[in-house]
Every structure is written in structure tokens, then in C-alpha cells.
Amino acid sequence: MHYETVFIVNPVLSEEQADQTAKKYEDFLKSKDSEIVSKESWGLKKLAYSIQKKKSGFYFLFEFKSNNENIISDIELDFKRDEKVMRWLTVKLDKHSIAYAENRRARLNKKDEKIN
């Protein structure tokens, strides 16, 4: 199965601590035999509405594949237990969503090449 998860980390953390939190979940997925297809850090962004009296948060996106049937319940349970994670959303990608994600990554890579 192919999944995409976006989660928001508490903005009171330093950027390094937010990155460490993302690394923790990357390692978590790998420990559950998931393959990380793509990971993105969108940085500190303003929220559309306040969450836990915070107006911003560090956004991270992981796209991954897993055959583990319990992977979503496992990672979401971990998100619930982690005070650093304010919100998350995980979706199962269909073939159209996978194609869209690949096109988006290709566009981002072209943008990065132009900058460098």
C-alpha cells in the first residue's frame, strides 16, 4: 500500500528539534519495514486556525509504502502520544494520487536545479 502523511510539529521547538522529531518518525516507519518514497520539510508555516493556542507549526510530509496492515494505526498512536506533534493526516494513495505526487516531486526537483 502507498501512503502519504503530513504532520505538524509544535513551533516552540527549535528547527533542529523539529527535524529530530521528523527523523524519529522516519526511523519508526523504517523499523516497521516501510519504504520511504519521499520526505519533505516545509518549514515553519502559519496555521489557518490556532491549534493548542499556537498560530504556526513545522510541517513535514512523508510518502511511504508498506505492506504492514497496522502501520497507520501504529504511527497514529505514536503521534497521539507525542506532545511535540500537534496534528497529522494520513491518506492511502490511489494510482492517480501516486502519479500526481510523482509529478509534484519532478516539478520541485526542476525548481531546485534552476536555483543551483
Mean pLDDT of 30-58: 93
Specify the number of domains making up the chain.
1
Instruction: Map grid coordinates 510518502 to a residue.
Output: 63
Grade residue 112 by pLDDT with cuts at 50, 70 and 90: low
pLDDT for 32 beyond 70: yes
Give residue 100's domain range. Answer: 2-115
pLDDT at 109: 76
pLDDT at 84: 95
Grade residue 113 by pLDDT with cuts at 50, 70 and 90: low
DSSP 83: T
Share of residues in the chain with pLDDT > 90 (%): 76
Q: How far is Cα 30 from Cα 36, in angstroms, rounded to an integer?
A: 7
Which residues are CB-contacts of 78 (< 8 A; sequence separation ≥ 6)?
25, 28
Task: Specify the CATH number for the domain of residue 100.
Answer: 3.30.70.60
Residue 32 and residue 1 in contact, taking contact as beta carbons nearer than 8 Å: no
Whole-model pTM: value is: 0.87
